[in-house]
Amino acid sequence: MGVKCPKCHHNNPEDTLFCGKCGTRLSSPAKVEMTKTFETPKEELTRGATLANRYEIIEELGKGGMGRVYRVEDTKLKQEIALKLIKPDIAKDKKTIERFRNELKLARNIRHKNVCGMYDLGETEAALFITMEYIRGEDLKSLIRRIGQLPIGKSISISKQICEGLVEAHSLGVVHRDLKSSNIMIDEDGNVRIMDFGIARSLKEKGITAAGVMIGTPEYMSPEQAEAKEVDKKTDIYSLGVILYEMITGRLPFEGDTPLAIAMKHKGETARSPKDLNPQIPDILGEIILKCMEKKKENRYEDVAEINSDLDEIKQSLTTFESAIHREKLETTTVPEMSWKYSVAVLPFADISPQKDQAYFCDGMTDDIITKLTKLQELKVISRTSVMRYKNTDKDIRDIGQELNVNTILEGSVQKSGDYIRVNAQLINVEDGFHLWAETYDRELKNVFEIQSDLAENIARALKTNLTIEEKRGLNKNPTDNLEAYNTYLVGRHFWNMRTEEGFQKSLELFQKAIKKDPTYALAYTGIADYFNLIGYYDLVPPREAFPRAKEAAEKAIDLDETLAEAHASLAMIQTWYEWDWTGAKSSFKRALELNPSYVTAHHWYSVWLGAMGRHDESIATIKRAQELDPTSLIISTTLGGMFMFARRYDEEIEELHRAMELDPASYIPHWYIVYPYAFKGLYDEAIAHAQKALSLSGMSSRMKGVLSLAYACGGKITEAKKLLNELIKLAKTKYNSPYGLALIYIELNEKDRALDLLEKAYEEHDHWLYQIKVIESLDSLRSEPRFKALLKKMGLE
């Protein structure tokens, strides 16, 4: 009679569990025997629930073809373990239960440092489950998805550890049969652990697995598995080759629209050489991979120990090889390292004019001296944001020096009377409080730029800094010769730094006014670029209204002054957020940091670019460099938290964001950022509490309503989530609302098609939040979807 496929209607033999045409799992009533204990099987468990009166659910770790995996506490042994809840359609087959029981007996015999320990098969009235060792860490699939192709040395190290675990298993007569990157865990100490030997098959016994059953994952499946033939240790060797291919190229050798299509490619097509996809790998490594993946078993390695031996050989020459590659990358992709001999903090100049009406001028004096000094290669200069916290302070100089981690401090005052100005300045050694240099300048106001240049040069001389000709030229360069334009620009920057909608609008008016006074004032054009950048970033206007105008202003600034680091950094951020021109953005960031190695904003925004590319170690190092230059900046601290999030280092992110909250208890931003790591860790009450706090502190902004809706959805509060979501949908009719933000909510509501619709809309609208889609965990459930893969490809991220 046979079994008809419910999807393609192909007629299959009665003893087949997968359709021979499309790969869909079949249900054969004639072959399924229901056990008394599995009449109402569960499909998933909720946090806090207890299974078998013993295992308390802590969080869901993932799900796959066999079922869901949870982190649970064994309440009897007071120990955390992993528990795999088998899918009901698998669990209800009596023969399947017996097969699992027999195969777990084999798997429990494997005791090796590179193999996750298997414990037991459990049964209750509602569920069948397997218990195993809980490994804290990240699976290899997630690591590859997060950072792309792995360094060659790391790939070799991971492969060797997999080999060592397999050697032990094979020596006991056990084959894995479902070896894949998601079944390889990298623990917190960097050790590799092979998971899921629970469906392993003994080499010594026959008939444990039903005939004609295709077990495995199509992307990693050997040709013999695709044909449902007998498997042996060479099947694991083939899958190991696929995993190594995936690590060093960042992609799988075969892809297709259906599981069957992929399996058939493994059976009949030759994989593209990994060397074509990653020319940097040694030839011998490519040969090892392709030998593992030979179609005929007899052409593969004889055993895993032989592979391990060959990997050992190329490991010997790898250090020299990778050093050359690393040097090449440094020359082409990284920015100059900062090597500081000296450090200084320029404290805000005090206004001692009789009318006390020169606050903006004093701030401008501080800004310009900082800007000039940052161009000196040997000098670490603390950013404006951090020094402004000490405005009008009576704190001891030595305490300030320790807080900012500098060895010298410049403090000064400004007194203006009519068209004349007096500037007092003194450079102080933090360690002993002694003055290294002091000077008083009495000049006409029109000579203020001359004073700033003299101050900067005298500071450099007092510190015995060796000035190059180019650096001296930079110290004497003035942003404009028009004092009115200069003062107007300074007031504009004051309002821009407020980071409010009203402040942004006022800053634009002042930047435009400064340009009317001096049409060649490049820095004022950069101010306009930064205005449009941030009103786009904060979703105050649609991206298409903000970022093109930002680019126009940034390019005008560069035309006027190609050496202006600020303009190149502004352009780079447009290329990152809006245009998704990853190569152009990298070049612009590199140019900005060549021109001004201490420019904090360039380091800040470049770290975001690196994080979006999956280069997490570099990203975190770069934002920490910015933090060293601006140690009390709330924005830098929260961005460091965000880069930890991209790297999925959630505990570190939470720690940094709590530090940010201490920097500015009134800011909603760190409460907003911390929602995500708490949600990803399954700490939903904490996520919701911080989302509510962010909404309150932000003045009930629509963006924070979206964050709270997301937190509710993650925590299972569906009614509350949908209520806020509906409010946002209505609001979107009159005010711009990020489609990307709405998509994240729909993902948690398990409406994937709607989420994909919104992500495609976000692409059409150039929603800048899409820049992060390669790395953020929120989108992991969509990564196998063809529409999502197409989106990544269109954005140049795959």
Q: What is the pLDDT of residues 48-63, one digit of tens each?
A: 888 988 999 988 887 7
Contact 209, 99 (CB under 8 A): yes
Residue 476 scores a pLDDT above 90: no
What pLDDT was estimated at residue 573? 93
Q: Per mean pLDDT, which of 308-312, 533-537, 656-660 is the most reliable?
A: 656-660
Alpha carbons within 13 A on the beta-carbon side of 169: 39
pLDDT mean over 185-192: 85
To the nearest whole percent, how much of the chain has pLDDT over 70?
88
Considering the chain, what percentage of its residues have pLDDT values greater than 90? 45
Write phi, then psi, for 139 (nearest 5 degrees): -75, 155
Q: Which long-range contacts (CB under 8 A, 24 or more apart) does 500-505 make?
A: 501/535, 501/538, 501/540, 504/531, 504/534, 504/535, 504/540
**Could you tell me what percentage of the chain is helix, strand and coil, using 3-state DSSP and rounding each to the nearest 5?**
55, 15, 35
What pLDDT score was predicted for residue 26?
A: 58
The predicted pLDDT at position 704 comes to: 92
3-class secondary structure, 202:
strand
pLDDT score recorded for residue 708: 96
> How many CA atoms does the CB half-sphere of 412 hold within 13 Å?
30
pLDDT at position 465 is 67
- The pLDDT of 570-586, averaged and rounded, is 93
253 vs 390: CA distance, rounded Å: 58
Q: From CA 448, how far away is CA 423, in angstroms rounded?
A: 9
Higher pLDDT: 39 or 27? It is 27
Inter-residue contact 710 to 745 (CB < 8 Å): yes
Top-confidence range, 15-29, 97-111, 735-749:
735-749
The pLDDT value recorded for residue 40 is 38
- Residue 305 has a pLDDT of 94
Does the pLDDT of residue 655 top 90, yes or no? yes
Residue 75 pLDDT > 90:
yes
Mean pLDDT of 481-507: 85
pLDDT of residue 380: 86
CA 637 to the chain's CA centroid: 15
Mean pLDDT calculated for residue range 372-387: 82
Q: 193-202, 440-449, 623-632: lowest mean pLDDT where?
A: 193-202
pLDDT in tens, 506-537: 999 999 999 999 999 999 999 999 999 999 98
Nearest CA to 773 out of 737, 747, 735, 751 is that of: 747
Kindly calculate the radius of gyration of the chain based on its CA atoms and give it in whole angstroms: 31
Q: What is the pLDDT of residue 46?
A: 82
- pLDDT value of residue 701: 81
Give the tens place of pLDDT for each residue, 429-444: 988 888 888 889 888 8
Tokens of 550: 């930002």
**Could you tell me which residue, 79 or 47, shows the higher pLDDT?**
79
H-helix segments, 257-390 = 259-268, 274-277, 283-292, 304-333, 359-373, 384-387
pLDDT tens-place string over residues 247-306: 999 889 998 888 888 989 999 898 999 988 888 788 899 999 999 999 999 999 999 999
Average pLDDT for the chain: 85
**Residue 565 confidence class, pLDDT cut points 50, 70, 90:** very high
Q: Please state the φ and ψ torsions of residue 302, each to the nearest 5 degrees.
A: -70, -40
Amino acid 643: pLDDT? 96
pLDDT band (50, 70, 90) for residue 314: confident
Query: What is the pLDDT, as a whole number, of residue 654?
Result: 95
What residue type is assigned to position 727 of the chain? Answer: E
Q: Tell which wins on pLDDT, 365 or 552.
A: 552
Residue 210, both tokens: 């039903």
Angle separating helix axes 752-765 and 739-748, nearest 10 degrees: 170
At 62 the pLDDT is 78
Contact 619, 643 (CB under 8 A): yes
Q: Which residues are CB-contacts of 764 (< 8 A; sequence separation ≥ 6)?
A: none
pLDDT band, very low/low/confident/very high, at 28 (cuts 50, 70, 90):
very low
Query: CA-CA distance, 58 to 201, in Å (whole number)?
Result: 31
What are the E-state strand segments in 367-419? 379-381, 408-417
Residue with more model confidence, 694 or 206: 694
Q: How do residues 609-643 score in pLDDT, each as one tens digit?
A: 999 999 998 999 999 999 999 998 899 999 999 99
pLDDT at 321 over 50: no
* CA pair distance 335, 332, nearest whole angstrom: 9
- In 3D space, the residue among 206, 333, 218, 216 whose CA is nearest the CA of residue 264 turns out to be 218
Tell me what pLDDT residue 41 has.
45
Mean pLDDT value of segment 185-199: 82
pLDDT interval class at 209 (50, 70, 90): very low
pLDDT at 329 exceeding the cut of 90: no
Mean pLDDT of 175-182: 90
Q: What is the pLDDT of residues 673-717, one digit of tens each?
A: 999 999 988 899 999 999 999 999 988 788 899 999 999 999 999
Q: Residue 477 pLDDT more than 80?
A: no
| pLDDT exceeds 70 at position 320 | no
Domains of the chain plus CATH, in order, are 32-133 (3.30.200.20), 137-330 (1.10.510.10), 342-478 (3.40.50.10610), 563-794 (1.25.40.10)
Backbone angles phi, psi at 92, to 5 degrees: -80, -5
pLDDT at 502 > cutoff 50: yes
- Cα gap 708→672, rounded to integer Å: 9
Block residue for tokens 């009318």: 355
Predicted TM-score (pTM) of the model is: 0.58
pLDDT of 228 reads 79
Written as one letter, the residue type at 661 is M
Q: Rounded to an integer, what distance in angstroms lies between the CA atom of residue 653 and that of residue 559? A: 40
Name which residue leads in pLDDT, 98 or 312.
Answer: 312
